[in-house]
A and B are shown apart, each in its own frame.
Chain A
Amino acid sequence: MVQRRWLRSLKAWVPRWRISVTGRADFQRNATRFVLRVLAGLGITALGFGLVIWLGTLRYYNLGYAESILPGLGQGFLVTIRLVAVVIPLGFALGFLFGWARTTRSLILRGLGAAYVEVFRGLPPIVLIFFSYLITTLAILNISKNPFIAGDVALWMGAIALSLHSGAYQTEIIRAGILSVPTGQIEAADSVGLSRWQTMFRVTLPQAFRVSLPPLGNEFASVIKDTSLLNIIGWLDLAQIGLLQVPAALKADFNLVFIIWIEIAMLYFVLTFVVTKAVRFVENAYKVPGLEAAEL
């Protein structure tokens, strides 16, 4: 197959490295695909923006207003990114640990995992966020009497509460992944003489995580949007900054409210898109014949 020259020159910039026992060598192709996908997605988004701006220049709406709220929304966008950067890794770590715990032989660990899932999956995230906020605020006010410290810590506790909620879902994803590995694989590992830990890290988990990746991507996409719940305790995130613009907009012109929400929607979309494509990239990088998720 003839490759376009621009594709080849793009490839030259993508690092080539090998993944150890768990992976495959054609990282370069996958990385290229990832970059192209993200570029394509962002390109489409840019086209969307272009269209919107064009409509503005035709005076379908107030372009000046759309521009004027962007810097503020940008600030909120950065806050949302910061939240996502905490909630996704933390939720994944929790999901991994408890998912593993739920598949061990230990009754205590399994019970712990089950209790965690039931509690944090069974309560609405908004309730969890409020609870954690109130409890930390009260606790810290009792100790230090400094409301500013209390406020800061309580804000982050809200983010942790959301991680716990997401972690409960990820626990079940990881558990399903581990259980999907056939017992024959573990018997084979045993028969070669691998220890229980070696079997876990060299045989079970490498297969389990490949199976878990697509639903994990789903969960990441979902929790990105759930970060918008954190503004109820005072996070000035993307959604909140938007909300704060609404009353003034309503007073001036009802149509301005649409502009606010369209801009918010686009920014959330960009974030979700990049994260899900990144998951897809990892998925492709570790794809192995016989274990692949269906190619979309």
Chain B
Amino acid sequence: MTMVRIQGLHKSFGTLHVLRGVDLDVNRGDVLCIIGPSGSGKSTLLRCTNLLIYPDKGDIFLEGVKVTSREVRPEWVRQQIGMVFQQFNLFTHLTALRNVMLGLVRVKRMDSAAARSKAEFELERVGLADKKDAYPAQLSGGQQQRVAIARALAMDPKVMLFDEPTSALDPEYIHEVLDVMKRLAEEGMTMMVVTHEMGFAKEVADSIIFFDQGQIVERGSPEEIFDRPGHERTKAFVSKILR
């Protein structure tokens, strides 16, 4: 069953044509990794998926609902799609617990006791129950990113988007974030992951997209993309990145 369907997506920033007709299906429970050179439009694709950026042309469906239609409130869409950013983007003025609670109280309208216990549960899940009263500035990069994941998970999203979640991390913290993501994948979460972690992509992804110049160049299983890429550009990129 298709969770996310993207059809004929175009997006330009001024004269820069970033997305040039993207068609994409992601099935429920699948992990899709998106790889490709920087500036190829991978982040823009993710940001269009949860309508942080409105596409110029094309449609996006979430469980068959056309979310790019005018009748759909973008807040409603974003609430069902969790997003994790490269720079974590935790709310600086709130503790870890309050970061997770904010959406529960304000968007889901939970009362604060229920929101608190839900938030504590989510922090527990990413292994940060003891850091709930810490402010973002008091946490390491890896811890911040795990809080960010907990914040997204707390909203019970149907899909999780990861925009280079480990690129801003010191090497020693990368694995703790990847571990959380792996566990999430095992639990059956539908995930779209823009990443440069080829090890993670190989191990966890159900399929991989090579993205370049605003288009999907090639889509295949990890073996297909890494071991026998069908396209010259894929071959060049993979050989560079796996070296």
Contacts and interface: CB of A to CB of B under 8 A. Distances in A.
A257 to B, nearest CB: 51
A241 to B, nearest CB: 45
Nearest to A196: B75
Given A21-B98, A193-B78, A291 B106 contact: no
Contacts of B50: 191
B52 A191 contact: yes
A290 interface: yes
Interface residues of B, number: 31
Given A187-B85, A191-B152, A192-B79, A290 B92 contact: yes
A192 B138 contact: no
A187 B107 contact: no
Interface in A166-200: 182, 184-185, 187-195, 198
Contacts of B119: none
A255 interface: no
Contacts of B78: 190-193
Nearest to A290: B137
Contacts of A184: 85, 87, 89
B189 interface: no
A203 B90 CA distance: 10
A74 to B, nearest CB: 42
Nearest to A195: B75
A180 B85 CA distance: 19
Specify the main secondary structure of chain A where it touches its partner: helix
A193 B93 contact: no
A193 B107 contact: yes
A198 B106 contact: yes
B75 A193 contact: yes
Contact of B135 (A203, A207, A289): A289
A207 B89 CA distance: 13
A291 B93 contact: yes
B93 A288 contact: yes
Interface string B133-176: 00111100000000010011001000000000000000000000
Nearest to B79: A193
Given A185-B92, A207-B93, A288-B93, A194 B75 contact: yes
Interface of A: 21-22, 182, 184-185, 187-195, 198, 202-203, 206-207, 210, 288-291
14 contacts: A21-B102, A182-B89, A185-B92, A188-B85, A188-B89, A192-B78, A192-B155, A193-B75, A193-B76, A195-B75, A198-B106, A210-B93, A288-B135, A291-B137
Given A193-B79, A291-B93, 16 more contacts: A21-B102, A182-B89, A184-B87, A185-B91, A188-B85, A190-B74, A191-B50, A193-B155, A194-B75, A194-B102, A194-B106, A203-B91, A206-B93, A210-B93, A290-B135, A291-B92
